[in-house]
Amino acid sequence: MYSRVRKFICLTIILLLVTGCSNTEPFDDRNIIFKDVETKTSDFEISKRIEITNQTGYDLVNLKLKLSYTTKNDDASESEESNIFDGFSLKAGESKTITIIVVLNDKNNINLENPTLEFSGEYTDFYKRIPFGVVGHLSVLVEQQ
């Protein structure tokens, strides 16, 4: 009789330990905060400083940031793209400011007001790396915070 009770109690404790030990919030890319710090323009280039803050609770690795400006004509497939900034990481709670420079062919044909931001990488969950991506207009990504 006591042996069954002991087995039941041990099994219950093991199940509670296995299922109840994880209090980590699930990954949510809305907890990656973008801030448009500074923009400088000249006739030949645009320099934009963007601060990225990782409030996801996970480490982010193999990160890649791309900023592109579309042409003002109706053909959105033609876009001016910056040099891609990649190969960096953000630990949980860390912030990083990145400067991206876009060389312009013709400043008059570029929509400078609403650049598109593409941010991708992987977050680490124990021993797994899980890919994620965020794409949108920079003004929208900054305003949603």
- Which residue reads 């193999």 in tokens? 62
Helix, strand or coil for residue 2?
helix
Q: Give the domain range for residue 117.
A: 25-143
Domain count, the chain: 1
Within a domain: 4? no
* Predicted TM-score of the model (pTM): 0.76
In a domain, 17, yes or no: no
- DSSP structural state of residue 72: S
For every one of its 145 residues, what pLDDT tens digit does the chain have, with 9 covering 90 and above?
A: 667 777 777 777 776 666 555 557 899 999 999 999 998 988 888 899 999 999 999 999 999 999 888 776 666 566 666 778 899 999 999 999 999 888 877 777 777 778 889 999 999 988 899 999 999 888 888 865 4
**Among candidates 92, 88, 108, which has minimal Cα distance to 100?**
88
11, part of any domain = no
**How many C-beta atoms surround the C-beta of residue 78 within 10 A?**
10
- Is position 122 within any domain? yes
The answer to whether residue 126 sits within a structural domain is yes
Please report, for the domain that includes residue 135, its CATH number.
Answer: 2.60.40.10
Confirm whether 18 is domain-assigned. Answer: no
Determine, yes or no, domain membership for 94: yes
For residue 13, being part of any structural domain is answered with no
- Joined together, the tokens standing for residue 46 give 């645009």
Q: Which residues contact 34 (CB under 8 A, 6 or more apart)?
A: 50, 51, 52, 117, 119, 138, 141, 142, 145
Q: CA 65, CA 86: separation in Å to the nearest integer?
A: 6
